[in-house]
Amino acid sequence: MLEYFDRIFVEKALIEAHRIMKHNGRFVLDIPNNENPMRRFMRLIEEHRGCPNRFDMSPQEFNVMLHNYFEVNNIEKIDDVAMIQYFLICKK
């Protein structure tokens, strides 16, 4: 769902997830891979459906934001849907 929100909301969501999670708590988070060429087409489809994509960060920018709150245990790119899946561990 984060692809429908801008950078400010995404950071607030990460801060809140960090706040409510236990130390070493784990969760999986998906974000759009804006560097994947397929993303452009997915974005057009979402806009046509009335769900504009507001996620404007590169994977590198998102990684920087994550490292304030979470340890990245693993990253998997899901190319057929132009998403990146993060396996995270909560830092305290």
Residue range 43-61, pLDDT digits in tens = 888 888 888 878 888 889 9
Identify the pLDDT of residue 76.
95
Q: How many CB atoms lie within 10 A of CB 76?
A: 12
- Residue 27 pLDDT grade (very low, low, confident, very high; cuts 50, 70, 90): very high
**Please, which residues have CB within 8 angstroms of residue 39's CB and are 6 or more apart in sequence?**
32, 33, 82
Superfamily the domain 2-90 falls into: Vaccinia Virus protein VP39 (3.40.50.150)
Mean pLDDT of 21-33: 94
Whole-number Å distance between alpha carbons of 89 and 70: 5
Looking at the chain, the whole-number percentage of residues with pLDDT higher than 90 is 54
Domain ranges of the chain: 2-90
pTM for this structure?
0.83
Comparing CA positions, the residue from 65, 72, 91, 74 lying closest to residue 13 is 65
CB 91 within 8 Å of CB 69: yes
Asked whether residue 80 carries a pLDDT value surpassing 90, the answer given is no
Length of the chain: 92
Whole-number Å distance between alpha carbons of 2 and 22: 22
Residue with token string 């507001």:
54
